[in-house]
Amino acid sequence: MSIAAVDFETFYSSEVTIVEQGIYHYLRHPESDIYLVSIATDTGIRYVGHPKDFDWSQIAGPEWTWLAHNAQFDQPVFERLQELEIGNTCSVSELAAWHDTADLTAFLCTREVLKRLPNTF
């Protein structure tokens, strides 16, 4: 089993926000832009750049588990990339699992804020 940490960055403004539109409409707003993904794996893959430029087949398949600190955001973003046919994205159903690390921090009573966790890197 291999693990990939995945984090997306998207455009937002005072008018284009998840709070105002909800995740579905936010990702489909004309100004919406999924412009960055950061990926780190336990196999040594490191990538920071536009999602269209990453070879997603490197972290696809039933042997891969993905982690995201807010999977409730990152998974719909990834699925939107698939809809837009940006990059050679794999299907979420091809993965072994997708876990939300925010759930773990909530369980540990850190209130889901990463900056409060000790730096162990």
Q: Is residue 121 part of a domain?
A: no
CATH number at residue 28: 3.30.420.10
- For residue 65, what are the domain limits? 2-116
Q: Which of 37-46, 79-88, 101-110 has the highest mean pLDDT?
A: 37-46
Instruction: Indicate the pTM of the whole model.
Output: 0.81
CA atoms within 13 A on the CB side of 36: 7
Q: Is residue 62 part of a domain?
A: yes
The tally of domains found in the chain comes to 1
Predicted local confidence at residue 121, as pLDDT: 42
In the block, which residue shows the tokens 């539109």? 21
Per residue in 16-74, pLDDT (tens digit) is 888 888 999 999 999 999 999 999 999 999 999 999 999 998 998 889 999 999 888 99
Q: Cα(74)–Cα(56) distance, rounded to whole angstroms?
A: 15
